[in-house]
Structure 1
């Protein structure tokens, strides 16, 4: 019990918590503004065209952009609350962390689904409509959100039922929150199993889809466009894994420091604002749609 108090937090923090969240809030506000500025034209172009949303890659991209903005909003809200409240109860910290983790899971699943869709569209173009009918496309998106909601709900229930002392913490950090939980063996096993299945599974799926295409099209590896796509996939999955890794109980305690939190948070929040959007502006169909939209608006009816 003595570990779940403000005195014990000094072991894991090197900076004033108010200053820490002010720095985090400034970065998140900048990232959120940039993300909204870049994603708004894409979302407007895709949502105003039912034919584009009928294609799985654009449907996935729409949900991916919305999820990015949602997670940045959750993180910004947490920073604002800590800046004004100068602390948060253990149960509230658990809920905030669960919301961020849920968005990360959706992002990783949607990214893997984008890789699979691209592989099917290129490898079996004539059978694409048979392999990916409209009902299956909607099911892919629904399953991504449902899997995240179910995983987070179970983890949140296990965590809240294990809260030992619901005291006020000046910093939400997994290593500190763990000392406020009792009998959390079930939570530890659940988080370990989810991490062991989710991250490697999505990574291997993305890598396998690219290698499958590279094997069928030998010149794919020498294509700059293909190399850029692979690099963006790798960086995108890395960015989306940052919240899961930082909030994981598997992260060694010696790595739990303010410098790492700030650096990784900035790296993630700024990167996540740019990397998914490259897939949108990289699409020739979306480029034509974005160019045609202003032209249509300039047409004055007689």
Structure 2
């Protein structure tokens, strides 16, 4: 039987009580949201409208852009609104935010693995690439990413719905995330913590290991490339991907792989900004807009609109 919560709304503490700092943070987060939204929407439009980009790599980039739009749109509009007006969020609103954020988080972690696998096949098995990564395989991989992450968030949200909140309604964070909410429950949260830890081991540590392994194989293949220019180009692509993946995974692992009692207010807020706001803003630049094919497609698209 589901327990009724004693809390009907939460107070999101946000970043600062200082008005001067709030005035600096509002434009910073507004800029991050606009960059994430416009950059990722641009990626989707450019790739969908350019037949030359209908390849597995860009198919996964469209999925990544959609995940980033979901993530930032779940967190940042509410954060910006709370900076301007009231900082309360209803119990239902908080649960919805947690559900969609955890969904996007899981999907992003899994997508990075799908993208690394795609690059591994392209560089290590070039002659078998079109057979191993045909459209059906890509669709199945994408479906698996969205479904597994949906199942993951359903489990965490379902477990959280069974917790009563009667100690306090002050969320020491800038959005509704699992660790700060577990801290507020007046019932044992051991099962929630075990499930969060398990999901983190499988989704974060497991995927990160798969990605690193695929990049070791990719690097070994690159080192066999004879031309210096070819090596440089391949290394520059891989290094930016590895940087984004390492930054994203390390912050997620740090947040979820310890008990709620070890939750630290200020450190965790800064860490969360990286995977909720900074990474979705940087992904379009790192993965796509530095890419020659995307630049060519973007130019064609702007020329078509201007005519």
- The TM-score with structure 1 as length reference comes to 0.80
Deviations 1:139-171 (A, max 9, x none): 111111111110000110011112343963354
Q: Superposition RMSD on alpha carbons, in Å?
A: 3.4
Give me the whole-angstrom Cα distance separating, in 1, the residues matched to 2:171 and 2:260: 21
Contact 1:46 1:52 in 2 (8 A): yes
Structure 1 segment 37-76 matched on structure 2, within 5 A: 37-50=38-51, 52-53=53-54, 55-76=55-76
Unaligned residue ranges in structure 1 (runs of 5+)? none
Structure 1 pair 274–13 and aligned structure 2 pair: CA distance change class (3 A): closer
Contact 1:232 1:275 in 2 (8 A): no
Name the SS of the counterpart of 1:278 in structure 2: helix
Aligned residue among 229, 239, 244 for 1:236: 244
**2:134 pairs with 1:133:** yes
**2:219 pairs with 1:218:** no
1:96 match: 97
Q: Which moved more, 1:244-253 or 1:144-153?
A: 244-253
1:143 match: 144
Structure 1 segment 189-200 matched on structure 2, within 5 A: 189-200=194-205
Aligned residue among 264, 267, 277 for 2:271: 264
2:290 match: 282
Deviations 1:207-250 (A, max 9, x none): 11121122234256973333333332233224433773465271
Give me the whole-angstrom Cα distance separating, in 2, the residues matched to 1:23 and 1:180: 33
Compute the displacement of 1:263 (Å). 3.2
Name the SS of the counterpart of 2:127 in structure 1: coil
Contact 1:155 1:191 in 2 (8 A): yes
2:79 match: 79
Aligned residue among 176, 179, 187 for 2:184: 179
Give me the whole-angstrom Cα distance separating, in 2, the residues matched to 1:242 and 1:86: 29
Q: Which moved more, 1:265-274 or 1:219-228?
A: 219-228
Contact 1:87 1:169 in 2 (8 A): no
Give me the whole-angstrom Cα distance separating, in 1, the residues matched to 2:38 and 2:145: 26
Give me the whole-angstrom Cα distance separating, in 1, the residues matched to 2:79 and 2:147: 27
Compute the displacement of 1:30 (Å). 1.0
Contact 1:104 1:240 in 2 (8 A): no
Compute the displacement of 1:138 (Å). 0.5
Compute the displacement of 1:21 (Å). 7.4
Give me the whole-angstrom Cα distance separating, in 1, the residues matched to 2:77 and 2:23: 12
Contact 2:72 2:280 in 1 (8 A): no
Unaligned residue ranges in structure 2 (runs of 5+)? 1-5
Give me the whole-angstrom Cα distance separating, in 2, the residues matched to 1:166 and 1:255: 17
Structure 1 pair 247–217 and aligned structure 2 pair: CA distance change class (3 A): closer
Compute the displacement of 1:93 (Å). 3.3
Structure 1 pair 296–76 and aligned structure 2 pair: CA distance change class (3 A): closer
Compute the displacement of 1:64 (Å). 0.7
Give me the whole-angstrom Cα distance separating, in 1, the residues matched to 2:158 and 2:39: 36
